[in-house]
Structure 1
Amino acid sequence: MSEDGCVTAAQHLPAPRLIATDLDGTLLRDDKSVSERTVAALAAAEEAGIEVFFVTGRPARWMGVVSDHVHGHGLAICANGAAVVDLHAGRKFIEVRSLPRPVALGVVRALREAAPGTSFAVELTTGINYEPTYPPFFQDPGANVATAEKLLAEEAPDTAAPVLKLLAHHPELAPDAFLALARATAGEYASITRSSPTALLEISGLGVSKASTLALCCAERGISADEVVAFGDMPNDVEMLTWAGTSYAMGNAHPDVIAAASGRTVANNEDGVAVVIERILAERAAATDA
């Protein structure tokens, strides 16, 4: 660990064109706040010409936690890559990479057989619906409650709304064991990951991830992976951290994230993202002055 709290594989930090950061457990503190230090670091990065992307498992409607801190970084990748959202335009969907309903139904059937007791929720562009036995979403009181089979049926309410992801919860299995079981059971049909400390899985269209959508957004801007610095803390960040030229696991990160990242910073409650950004900008300023 260096004096400023960062561990990095390189002697000097890169001069990136884009910063991609997860939210929960990464940019946000545990109380879901964004510290003044972090707000200042994000603003300074953009003033220096570095784009900032929020890349999260959250749905668009839960982006209020950072809405007051959006400057130039108006685009967010939500639902683990299933949606690109414009935060400047009322959280408008710019791009949707949906999970086909027949595929989602196939995953439901497979997990019901492999892990009895699994309950499901269906995240749509219009909101979330869930089964009676699924842990209720108190932030979404207007959800439809029915079996996943009914919620995913073509004649169900919101049929026209794309499915962003399927969520699967198990009341007894260990989180990593449930993830491994689900990937072995249905990983050839869909992308399966997790970001919760509980046995809650997030299931997206095959090939959809934070990394693949971030790569598409960067390609549109002529930005290469080597020009990206990424931050994360949970398994749903692993592909993004592996893809980015430089990546940091938070001090509070899952072991798989630590293994995937090229560097490590301090925990989210210690402003680990800001620590790295400040160092990047300090080295850039020093190089300019030299």
Structure 2
Amino acid sequence: MREVCVIGGNRYFGKRLIARLIAAGDRVTVVNRGSSPPPAGAVHLVADRDDEESLLKALGSRTFDVVVDQVCYTPRQAAVARRVFAGRTRRYVMTSTVEVYEYEDSLAPVREDAVDPRTVPVDLELPWDDEEFLEAHYGEGKRQAEAVLAADPAFPYTAVRVAHVLGGTDDFTGRLDHYASRIRTGAPVLVPTRNHPATYIHVEEIADFLAWAAGQDFTGPVNAASHGMLTTEELCEAVAARIPDAKTVFRRVQVGEVSPFSFTRSYGMDNSRATALGFAFGHTKEWLPRAVAETLGKGN
């Protein structure tokens, strides 16, 4: 039986990950601030992961086979985790994001080496505790968090760069609901003049991937994305299929706010590394109708 620590992870694909680990026979310890309990069967430790002393006190003398960090958003958080879990875990899995590629603009899907965390500058003095700053610099925060873990690693680690996640009745983002609302009323869906496709992954598939990655021994960044990129038009088509007499109206704009999942640059990730390592991804076209049905609350 493995000892697994999950930091955060009490909603969306995090809670699915925890359920999978428990079902596989792992002893799972969940660390969070106590705002919500973990799934049944997990050990619950209450601590503020930003507070090094709080985290050390909560963990006590516990050691783990693997830590899965679902809520590492800044280099400061990564630095705390690096100090706290050094000598305490055999493996560290950080949930990262496709947004680390925000400065790349390749029409071809990007590979992991497009952003080498060992070359990313780290600035711990930036206002990472400011919520507005952090929201505006989400991708950069993740890039620098990866960089902290990659610099003279204190433990073997991998950073899972997650594509845009869709599906589930508990999708809290409201992004597909945005499309449904506009399609129902005939309001225009605003997209950039040049609107690029992106890579996606189903909520169940990313939970599967993280559970799988926890048991592997590869290190460094890895992209997690289903096969097949999707355009905004394809997303809207799938949403419209669930709405009687639907009419989708697109309006292309050169400046200003656009609808979710509309991109002025390519957000495609190459998933060949993970595939070669042994994970079998599904295809977006296969699960998209299901994801839309789940999110809009109309069954499978």
Query: TM (normalized to structure 1)?
Result: 0.29
Query: TM (normalized to structure 2)?
Result: 0.28
More strand by share: 1
